[in-house]
Structure 1
Amino acid sequence: QVIGVKLTGKLSGWSSPKDVILKVAGILTVKGGTGAIIEYHGPGVDSISCTGMATICNMGAEIGATTSIFPYNARMKKYLGKTGRADIAALADEFQQHLVPDAGCQYDQVIEINLSELKPHINGPFTPDLAHPVSDIGAVAEKEGWPVDIRVGLIGSCTNSSYEDMGRSAAVAKQALAHGLKCKSKFTITPGSEQIRATIERDGYAQILRDVGGLVLANACGPCIGQWDRKDIKKGEKNTIVTSYNRNFTGRNDANPETHAFVTSPEIVTALSIAGTLKFNPETDYLTGADGKKFKLEAPDADELPKLEFDPGQDTYQYPPKDGSGQHVDVSPTSQRLQLLEPFDKWDGKDLEDMLILIKVKGKCTTDHISAAGPWLKFRGHLDNISNNLLIGAINIENGKANSVRNALTQEFGPVPDTARYYKKMGVKWAVIGDENYGEGSSREHAALEPRHLGGRVIITKSFARIHETNLKKQGLLPLTFADPADYNKIHPVDKLSIVGLADFAPGKPLKCIIKHPNGSQETIMLNHTFNESQIEWFQAGSALNRMKELQQKSS
């Protein structure tokens, strides 16, 4: 499907490209774009900078979109020229007629947004599709019991730290400084690249953001992915943060499930951090300066590209050896952070019979629930150690708790990873039952590696987030969906499952699942899949890497 988003009018004032995707997320929800390409078009496109388009397209992952696109235009050409890619711009000019919508083209669904009327948005908490105008969030927060005081504001990271983003944020900060104010909330800035860091240092933006109370962090994912050793609160303490990131799932940024994270534009984060509260609306409300006089923040304005060339900063790239055939990776067997991967076992040619259910997940289960980041990232090179976070954030339907599942062999409740390890030790295969849009969020490969490493074979859900579904296939797992979503209710955590007919596994052909209940009764349901021929070969070989090795050996 192709979903068209027709943009009319023109961005102005406090409204930004981020508000476009926040608005779209509120309309389509986190799964509304699944299986679809989002195509932005219309006269409003030309009022959005090239990096602004990147902000919008990058967050398309949060609505499940396969991809998001804008038509080629002068703003893209200008950006390509400024970043040393004029030759690509020249080539795009030659084919421009193929890089814009065809006349009279039709879309499966059309959303129309008048940019001239678009209000600044803030989405959250706990999900990026719960959309609110900034003007409403204070009242909504008070009604819902969300903390209105902002503990930390965080800007930058990824496609939310362009030169324009940093410039608009600095423009807001400069006004506060002119009136003797600094941020009431803690305030951090994460440059999305070394080029951005170096350029905003040279042009003074970084210093302005420091002067208002900001801390410039390393060029990295940073707190967006949980790389944040937060000290100002205790785990379990209810609090609010505002960020310019794309994802705000429970515990994602700081591993605290009681942190209410909201996502908005960098300039709105900056304004709210200065005010220190969600009840502040920069479009209408006044601040009190150090001299006791009230003033209103003016809507920020900034160049989309630097007047000088971008400063590339430090060249820290390490070139690989020209001939890597003689290279040996020497990893200590006692290392807690690095571990050489072992190939997963090939499929034995048999049906998957009498699998236990590790967990039946209730509700939202993102890749953060499946494989948490934050403090676990130090183990990302050690599959066995990082597997100790497997599904620790998922809610078990049996008891409504996280990281507490029944061991079907001992009948004792314990942590999910420990139970999976016990099953693996006993030679018992297991499955996971999931709800809607299972695996949304970061395309986190560990979320697919870990269940395979600990003995999982099948993940059965009402629906998958597309990238996670593909990652599961790559590791030799079977991601399957209920042909009838109501069949989710037929499976209980104490049941056993058999997937039969795998000898005839073929594209487009549903698989049969036999549910065996403890009382001896059985039910049969059908499960759908999206495997193509090559992906079935991944399953049969044990993983995509195993299959690549097979093909390499055949060719040599």
Structure 2
Amino acid sequence: MPSLDSLNCRRSLDVGGRTYHYFSLPEAAKRLGDISRLPASLKVLLENLLRWEDNQTVRGEDLHALVDWLKTRSSDREIQYRPARVLMQDFTGVPGVVDLAAMRDAVSKAGADPQKINPLSPVDLVIDHSVMVDRFGDDQAFGDNVKIEMQRNGERYAFLRWGQQAFDNFRVVPPGTGICHQVNLEYLAQVVWTREENGDTYAYPDTLVGTDSHTTMVNGLGVLGWGVGGIEAEAAMLGQPVSMLIPEVVGFRLVGKMREGVTATDLVLTVTQMLRKQGVVGKFVEFYGPGLDSLPLADRATIGNMAPEYGATCGFFPVDQVTIDYLRLSGRDEQRIALVEAYSKAQGLWRDANSPEPVFTASLELELDSVRPSLAGPKRPQDRVDLPDIGASFDLLLETSGRLQQADTAVPVQGESFSLKHGAVVIAAITSCTNTSNPSVLMAAGLVAKKAVELGLRCQPWVKTSLAPGSKVVTDYLANAGLTRYLDELGFNLVGYGCTTCIGNSGPLPEAIGEAIVDNDLIVSSVLSGNRNFEGRVHPMVKANWLASPPLVVAFALAGTTRIDMGKDPLGVNGEGKPIYLKDVWPSNAEVAAAVSAVDGAMFRKQYADVFSGDANWQAIETSAGDTYEWDSSSSYVQNPPFFEDIGQPPKAPENIAGARILALFGDSITTDHISPAGNIKASSPAGLYLQGLGVAPENFNSYGARRGNHEVMMRGTFANIRIRNEMLGGEEGGNTLFQPEGSKMSIYDAAMRYQAEGTPLVVLAGKEYGTGSSRDWAAKGTTLLGIKAVIAESFERIHRSNLIGMGVLALQFVNGQTRTSLGLTGSEVLSINGLSADIKPHQMLSVGVTRNDGTSFEFDVLCRIDTLNEVKYFKAGGILHYVLRELIAK
């Protein structure tokens, strides 16, 4: 912390007999001006700048700019922010560690010490994305899935064990422990971080960036953090600040209390819908108001978790008494708890009834008692549907797809006594970080199961049921409340601790059910307590996916269909022929509260006592030692990527792009799942054919997410989502394109390789919200490996835009109301991008020349979305990691 402390604000704080040094915001305010009404999230940024002031990356003007924000409520000032730590999960973590290993190789080849490549900030990687629901519905499911996971991912896990011993400041939480965001909330996060320096202990806000977009879950604990691409996270690990503009901050005022029978999930789906409508992409959202007094910490975490779904950088809650109570409940050290309270109050970061109301760029208000039971779907998390309207909403989907007339046609399932219809629920999953951190909704799910069993109901036989908690604490408190056996009786047996269905690891459907769906082109449903329901994500055969609270997941498993009005229609009929309704099994708030009282701090302390050791399976994994990794050329999981092959050569200056072809033409809301899927690998896809060429049988393909350490798989999987629609092919589904100028149809990968062989640069055109969804660095890495030099879209989601620049790909935005459609672009044109030069600047206007097949031509302008001066440096270097690596080699 090389602070110049030009404002003389370094102070000390005595807590529990210990002295902590810190940089005082109240003292700084004496020279900067009143900051009492600055949003708490911006106060955290201000403290960060005070602590890192060096007159180079952080200057006095930066400090003043944050205070001046109060006058304009926005700023175009670029600042350099340094988070305290980095959080990773294994899908994004493996390629991150692969990059670090490759950088060590490059440094070694350049004659320098490979130990130069080491995280300078603490890094925690939690293995949570790899367990699949292969087995379900019985007591053996968990053990069987663990065995399959270890067999399937042995190469990846051996690689991570190498990284665990090779890198400093790098810890791995082994598989079978929990979801990274819940582990972060329950254990890793400290709210106030400490560090020893020259014999002194410094205290400062706990801050982080994470390689998963739902890093924002910890915002509910008063910890400022958000998701970045793995590329940006790797740079942060290696000492690069996060370059950002001082954000706008949208205030979200909560008042009142929620009604009887309404859950935190219902609340977050309402908040998501409101904020998507408001438009908060690239902005901070901060929650305030008297409603916070009645909002439990777990509910706050649920709201913070969904920040990517409402588009915000973060969804921040200030520290208050609720924070302290949760730290104590989750078994945190009493000294740390005392420090959090004393530090927050000393810094003006504490919220209570007497706190001045912050100033915001804009504000929304929600009466909590107006929230109604809800789901979201069938394709986007912001598309909230009131519970009674789910049947009508599904019928509208059938009508738009031309299937409404067949809605009641029953399709027999071979070898079974039941049949399927459109709307059948074939997957019901209590899963995902969003809700499995929340005891109230999980206990509510257990209580629904208990009442259903006692009334004689069972889940429908075509429903694949699963319970995948975010931590072992969950199974402890469900058992302690006496609810586990009821969930088990309905088939919601424990299948693993991880993201499972929410990330696309739903596993196979029973073969006969899958055949009935495919052969009859049925539109069937999944209901999951997750945060993402994009096309092709949950399961390739399931086209309608609905987000819901855990108790509603159980209810829909009982009903077996989404063509139902749960306010009127029964969930089912018991053995005596009596109809049972939702109201008969829904618990009261008092019943839920009584069950939640079973949660205590001893559970957390027990489960996190030895969190980094892992079980016998993990400890038995053999791995290589040494500073550099011993690459295995026969591995289908981990390969040395080609990103740094030319690192010894000086970077080429930016130059115009001439003679480019359009690889694909997309519409709105192209997600990172569309660009780089995480789920199943189709046997006939380029990635599937590649793996079969290595002797890997389709049943051992695993998933794209698990294969992210192998660039050969991932570049073949880029734009390979089975639901992506390329307008060059009339919008048909699948990752294909037309190779120009001959117009022959082929996979996007095959076309890209042919263009590369010809030396033809490529461009992708798209509509609004390009790159929405997960912070998936392979969506940018795959893009650059295919030879795509630029993406021209109507708008970009924050993380993916940054990732594209971080991989040396231009992110260009249509202006003047123009779109690919208004310009009449069909995909057959030749493009040139002009105005690129060595003195490129942020937000520069460039021109695109278009030549049609008939020889006619025209030009249109685009906005270059290189947004900051740091991004200019990264782009010129060929990418952020290339910039960092050259800097390290030069030293």
Counterparts in 2 of 1:166-185, with a 5 A limit? 166-184=442-460, 185=463
**Residue 813 of structure 2 corresponds to which residue in structure 1?**
481
**Residue 634 of structure 2 corresponds to which residue in structure 1?**
334
- Aligned equivalents of 2:819 and 2:398: distance in 1? 36
2:372 partner amino acid: K
Tell me if 1:116 matches 2:392.
no
- Aligned equivalents of 1:406 and 1:448: distance in 2? 22
Counterparts in 2 of 1:53-64, with a 5 A limit? 53-64=300-311
Q: Compared with structure 1, are the counterparts of its residues 519 and 468 closer, same or farther at alpha carbon in structure 2 (3 Å cutoff)?
A: same
User: How far off is 1:30 after superposition?
Assistant: 7.7
Tell me if 1:71 matches 2:318.
yes
Q: Compared with structure 1, are the counterparts of its residues 145 and 401 closer, same or farther at alpha carbon in structure 2 (3 Å cutoff)?
A: closer
Equivalent of 1:267 in 544, 547, 551: 551
Q: Compared with structure 1, are the counterparts of its residues 33 and 354 closer, same or farther at alpha carbon in structure 2 (3 Å cutoff)?
A: same
- Aligned equivalents of 2:423 and 2:260: distance in 1? 24
- Aligned equivalents of 1:458 and 1:416: distance in 2? 16
Equivalent of 2:538 in 253, 271, 284: 253
Q: Does the CA-based 8 Å contact 1:128-1:246 persist in structure 2?
A: yes
User: How far off is 1:414 after superposition?
Assistant: 1.0
Q: Does the CA-based 8 Å contact 1:241-1:262 persist in structure 2?
A: yes
- Aligned equivalents of 1:289 and 1:64: distance in 2? 44
Q: CA RMSD in A?
A: 2.7
Equivalent of 2:496 in 194, 218, 221: 218
Q: Does the CA-based 8 Å contact 1:337-1:379 persist in structure 2?
A: yes
Question: TM-score when scaled to structure 1?
Answer: 0.91
Q: Compared with structure 1, are the counterparts of its residues 525 and 142 closer, same or farther at alpha carbon in structure 2 (3 Å cutoff)?
A: closer
Tell me if 1:303 matches 2:550.
no
- Aligned equivalents of 1:304 and 1:433: distance in 2? 54
2:329 partner amino acid: K
**Residue 277 of structure 1 corresponds to which residue in structure 2?**
561
Q: Which protein, 1 or 2, shows the higher relative CO under an 8 Å CA cutoff with sep ≥ 6? A: 2
- Aligned equivalents of 1:335 and 1:401: distance in 2? 35
Q: Does the CA-based 8 Å contact 1:31-1:437 persist in structure 2?
A: no
Q: Does the CA-based 8 Å contact 1:158-1:221 persist in structure 2?
A: yes
1:155 partner amino acid: I
Partner SS, residue 374 of structure 1? coil
Tell me if 1:19 matches 2:266.
yes
**Residue 401 of structure 1 corresponds to which residue in structure 2?**
732
Q: Does the CA-based 8 Å contact 2:269-2:376 persist in structure 1?
A: yes
User: How far off is 1:174 after superposition?
Assistant: 1.0
Q: Does the CA-based 8 Å contact 1:355-1:429 persist in structure 2?
A: yes
Q: Does the CA-based 8 Å contact 1:152-1:240 persist in structure 2?
A: yes
Q: Identity rate of aligned residues, in percent? A: 27
Tell me if 1:514 matches 2:809.
no
**Residue 537 of structure 1 corresponds to which residue in structure 2?**
873
- Aligned equivalents of 1:4 and 1:40: distance in 2? 6
User: How far off is 1:459 after superposition?
Assistant: 0.9
Q: Does the CA-based 8 Å contact 2:425-2:527 persist in structure 1?
A: yes
**Residue 469 of structure 2 corresponds to which residue in structure 1?**
191
1:78 partner amino acid: D
Deviates more, 1:48-57 or 1:516-525: 516-525
Q: Does the CA-based 8 Å contact 1:7-1:114 persist in structure 2?
A: yes
Partner SS, residue 39 of structure 1? strand
After superposition, the C-alpha distances for 1:201-248 in whole angstroms (9 at most, x for unaligned) are 565444332122213222122111111222232455420111111110
Equivalent of 2:705 in 377, 382, 399: 377
2:366 partner amino acid: I
Q: Compared with structure 1, are the counterparts of its residues 9 and 30 closer, same or farther at alpha carbon in structure 2 (3 Å cutoff)?
A: closer
Deviates more, 1:524-533 or 1:241-250: 524-533
User: How far off is 1:186 after superposition?
Assistant: 2.9
Q: Does the CA-based 8 Å contact 1:30-1:62 persist in structure 2?
A: no
1:548 partner amino acid: V
User: How far off is 1:509 after superposition?
Assistant: 2.2
- Aligned equivalents of 2:658 and 2:477: distance in 1? 59
Unpaired runs of at least 5, structure 2: 1-247, 400-421, 681-703
- Aligned equivalents of 1:18 and 1:493: distance in 2? 42
Partner SS, residue 356 of structure 1? strand
Question: TM-score when scaled to structure 2?
Answer: 0.58
Equivalent of 2:668 in 357, 363, 366: 363
Equivalent of 1:43 in 279, 287, 290: 290
User: How far off is 1:547 after superposition?
Assistant: 0.7
**Residue 129 of structure 1 corresponds to which residue in structure 2?**
382
**Residue 389 of structure 1 corresponds to which residue in structure 2?**
717
**Residue 526 of structure 1 corresponds to which residue in structure 2?**
861
Equivalent of 2:527 in 231, 237, 242: 242
After superposition, the C-alpha distances for 1:335-363 in whole angstroms (9 at most, x for unaligned) are 22221112256445422222111011123
Partner SS, residue 29 of structure 1? helix
Q: Compared with structure 1, are the counterparts of its residues 115 and 134 closer, same or farther at alpha carbon in structure 2 (3 Å cutoff)?
A: same
Partner SS, residue 84 of structure 1? coil
2:546 partner amino acid: F
Deviates more, 1:394-403 or 1:300-309: 300-309
Q: Compared with structure 1, are the counterparts of its residues 205 and 100 closer, same or farther at alpha carbon in structure 2 (3 Å cutoff)?
A: same
Partner SS, residue 56 of structure 1? helix
- Aligned equivalents of 1:449 and 1:168: distance in 2? 42
User: How far off is 1:506 after superposition?
Assistant: 0.8
How many residue pairs are counted as aligned between the two chains?
551
**Residue 36 of structure 2 corresponds to which residue in structure 1?**
none
User: How far off is 1:483 after superposition?
Assistant: 2.2
Equivalent of 2:768 in 411, 414, 436: 436
Larger helix percent: 2
- Aligned equivalents of 2:528 and 2:363: distance in 1? 29
Q: Does the CA-based 8 Å contact 1:358-1:405 persist in structure 2?
A: yes
Partner SS, residue 518 of structure 1? coil
Equivalent of 1:156 in 421, 424, 431: 431
After superposition, the C-alpha distances for 1:460-498 in whole angstroms (9 at most, x for unaligned) are 100011111111121111111112241433243112222
- Aligned equivalents of 1:15 and 1:281: distance in 2? 17
2:707 partner amino acid: F
Q: Does the CA-based 8 Å contact 2:841-2:872 persist in structure 1?
A: yes
After superposition, the C-alpha distances for 1:279-325 in whole angstroms (9 at most, x for unaligned) are 556666655444444551233514177135224548463699xxx99
- Aligned equivalents of 1:134 and 1:32: distance in 2? 25
- Aligned equivalents of 1:203 and 1:104: distance in 2? 40
User: How far off is 1:10 after superposition?
Assistant: 1.0
- Aligned equivalents of 1:104 and 1:335: distance in 2? 57
Q: Compared with structure 1, are the counterparts of its residues 316 and 427 closer, same or farther at alpha carbon in structure 2 (3 Å cutoff)?
A: farther
Q: Does the CA-based 8 Å contact 2:770-2:793 persist in structure 1?
A: yes
1:27 partner amino acid: M
Deviates more, 1:534-543 or 1:433-442: 534-543
User: How far off is 1:155 after superposition?
Assistant: 1.1
